[in-house]
Structure 1
Amino acid sequence: MEYYIGAFKKFADFTDRARRKEYWMFFLFNLIVSILLQLVDVILGTVVISTLYSLTVLLPSLAVGARRLHDTGRSGWWQLIGIIPVIGWIVLIVFYCQDGEPGDNEYGHNPKGIDADDDYGVTNV
């Protein structure tokens, strides 16, 4: 839940990096809330509640998506590939699932705190 709230706190921050866990936990909670609100809309016979929620979560979704792409070393503009049906969505899912670049990159420092020369915390004995 902290990642969901955290995305709203950084709703307009397109400049940093986001770990996979941050992105996917936000995605999961967003999906659950969307489904529940759509059920409420069906019960009430309206579309207002889910539409308002979708508009409210649009900017935080774009921001956390851009930060996730930054973690993989890509520009946030890669989200526009999602406009292409099916192929674009598959490409974005692959990008979102990839591990972030170790160490700092042009978008900020590693949110995992692992340096590029750290060998992912493995020490040679």
Structure 2
Amino acid sequence: MNWYLKVFRDYFNFEGRARRSEYWMFSLYNFSFATILFITDAIFRLSLNFFPFGWFCILYAVTSFVPSIAVTVRRLHDVGKSGWMILLCLIPFFGGIWLFILLILNGDSQKNEYGENPKFESKDEDCSNADSIIQLVLISTLINVLIYKVAAEFINSEVFYKFYK
């Protein structure tokens, strides 16, 4: 949870470097909170007619948009790439895959043009194993996609309307 809060404390910080742990733990919490809010919106029928999401999801997306971009830019800096590489996600399919590869790479072990290695700068923070965190995020993503699918089917079913009318 410290990694998640750290990203929000650095809300508009697009400079420096972010460790893999910081990026992936933020992603894990971010995706989990979005899933919880999606289900909450669905249960309370707060969905908008033109969006599949409700007010809670939209409010959270607006709130977390800038920190998400900022931590991604700092993560790209950690591997020695410009923050503008985030625009790779605009290239269909292959751009997203290449961006994902850049985000899971080990950061530069020495100082680069974006600053010192963040592993050695922060002695008071948890130095957990980034590979385990990446695996946890991927497993969590698969579980959350299944939850989305099951929740969507359940909410659109007549069983849901019987119980919650």
Query: Which blocks of at least 5 consecutive residues in structure 1 are unaligned?
Result: 115-125
* Aligned position for 1:84: 91
Cα offsets for 1:21-57 (capped at 9, x unmatched): 1000000000000000000010111111101100110
1:71–1:110 CA contact under 8 A, matched in 2: yes
* Aligned position for 1:71: 78
TM-score for the superposition, normalised by structure 2: 0.67
Identify the range of structure 1 (34-43 vs 105-114) with the bigger mean alpha-carbon deviation. Answer: 105-114
1:66–1:77 CA contact under 8 A, matched in 2: yes
Larger radius of gyration: 2
Cα offsets for 1:71-104 (capped at 9, x unmatched): 0000111001111222111111100000001111
* Aligned position for 1:118: none
SS of structure 2 residue aligned to 1:112: helix
1:68–1:96 CA contact under 8 A, matched in 2: yes
- Once residues 83 and 24 of structure 2 are traced to their aligned partners in structure 1, the CA distance between those partners, rounded to angstroms, is 16
Deviation at residue 105 of structure 1 after TM alignment: 0.6
* Aligned position for 1:54: 61
Aligned length: 114
Q: Percent identity?
A: 42
TM-score for the superposition, normalised by structure 1: 0.88
Deviation at residue 61 of structure 1 after TM alignment: 0.2
Which 4+ runs in 1 deviate beyond 6 A?
Answer: none
1:103–1:113 CA contact under 8 A, matched in 2: no
